[in-house]
Chain A
Amino acid sequence: MSQIKSLRIVILIVGVLLVLVFIRNSDQNVFKEKAKTAIEAAWNKSNLLTFDQLKKYTTPYLIIDIGDGKRPDSLLFQRAVKITFSQLLDKANRKVLDEANGELILFADDVASASRAWVILNQLGYKNLRILTLRSNPEELNYKFQPDTTARLEQDSL
């Protein structure tokens, strides 16, 4: 007992630290996933979904339409909720995301919002998260560069 009494200060410091760690960990605003997971998932394109694949879906899913409000309310999809990109993490919207049943499928008119939203949600720890795309490989180069063998740097710079 006397030993514990003399260790009071040690126990106090460790206890306070533990409480602080728990508080920090319960902050929903802090990113906790490793950045590497986003790169890996994006690199092997397992996060992309085409319309054809979606048509064949039998498992439950929820489409998150990150529209800018110009399009009439989700004409395209039946199982969709509309969330403006800048309000993606509002309390009500996070509740929708948290309570969604099955896969979350992001859709936006511009690739930028969808990709950025995907990175943010992926790093917040949302699993089963995909982006709906029109093409199976949006990162394909549609043009072929033809080297101009007559072009010479030296001649021009002289």
Chain B
Amino acid sequence: MNVRIKYSLLLLGVGTILAFLPFHPSDSFLLKSDELLSVAASGENSFTVDQVARMVNREDSTIQLIDLREASQFKECNIPGSINIPFSDLLNPMWEGTFNQRNLRKIFYGNGDQTANYAWAIATGLGYKNNYIMKGGLNEWFKTVMLSRFEGEKISPAENALYETRFNARKAFKQINSLPDSLKSRYFKAKNIKQMKLDGGCQ
């Protein structure tokens, strides 16, 4: 039989198998379930709000805070340096450039703990490295960083440092979020464009 017919039949056969594949891995998690579970249970993937406040004050460039709330909530207030990736938009290929940086620590937060943990599990399952959550979310941030006051007679050096961190983070948070709306939206737009995937690849 003609060799070309053989090749054609082989390709058609493989194509038929592909058309009936039971699942499509590019839409699903890359990690195996036991791998994901062992990372998820290890408990070494969260930061407290005080740790985050310290990194915000330092303008740490090895972290990226990711606000998972809707754009309107994000606009009202957010932690300085964060970008807005609404949870419903998490799989948009536009964010690939942010997620796919191995050495960048991605810190998810929402108002509470739930959304951040969903996002953490999904991002980690999809094979992205270095994902964290901010424990307690914005509610905890408000409670600890924005509203806590030192009460007592004598302050220890450690406490002093802690309260100074909180005070500085509080100041930055207030300044950024008190900007007029027009300036804010322009600032966030510029920041989001910077995060989008860079063009590249084979032309």
Residues of chain A whose beta carbon lies under 8 Å from any beta carbon of chain B = 3, 6-7, 9-10, 13-14, 17-18, 21, 25, 28-36, 38-39, 42-43, 85-86, 88-89, 110-113, 115-120, 123-124, 133, 138-143, 145, 147-149, 151-153, 156
- Knowing A25-B22, A111-B117 are in contact, say whether A141-B73 is a contact too (CB < 8 A): yes
17 CB < 8 A contacts A-B:
A13-B14, A21-B21, A35-B27, A35-B125, A39-B118, A42-B87, A42-B118, A43-B87, A85-B40, A111-B114, A120-B36, A120-B125, A123-B29, A141-B73, A141-B142, A147-B178, A156-B175
Minimal beta-carbon separation of B105 from chain A (angstroms)? 17
Find out whether the CB atom of B9 lies under 8 angstroms from the CB atom of A7: yes
Report how far A141 CA is from B137 CA in the complex, Å.
9
B33 within 8 A of A: yes
Minimal beta-carbon separation of B3 from chain A (angstroms)? 10
B149 within 8 A of A: no
User: Interface residues of B: mostly helix, strand, loop or mixed?
Assistant: helix
Report how far A139 CA is from B111 CA in the complex, Å.
5
B17 proximity list for chain A (CB < 8 A): 14, 17-18, 21
Minimal beta-carbon separation of B93 from chain A (angstroms)? 13
B143 proximity list for chain A (CB < 8 A): 143
A34: nearest chain-B partner, CB-CB? B27
B20: nearest chain-A partner, CB-CB? A21
- Knowing A21-B17, A29-B32, A35-B126 are in contact, say whether A119-B10 is a contact too (CB < 8 A): no
Find out whether the CB atom of A115 lies under 8 angstroms from the CB atom of B117: yes
Residues of chain B whose beta carbon lies under 8 Å from any beta carbon of chain A = 1, 6, 9-10, 13-14, 17, 21-24, 27-29, 31-34, 36-38, 40-41, 46, 69, 73, 76-77, 87-88, 90-91, 110-115, 117-118, 120-122, 125-126, 133, 137-139, 142-143, 146-147, 174-179
Minimal beta-carbon separation of A143 from chain B (angstroms)? 4
**Supplied contacts A112-B113, A148-B174, 10 more A-B pairs, CB within 8 Å:** A32-B22, A33-B28, A36-B27, A38-B122, A39-B122, A116-B121, A138-B114, A141-B142, A142-B139, A142-B142
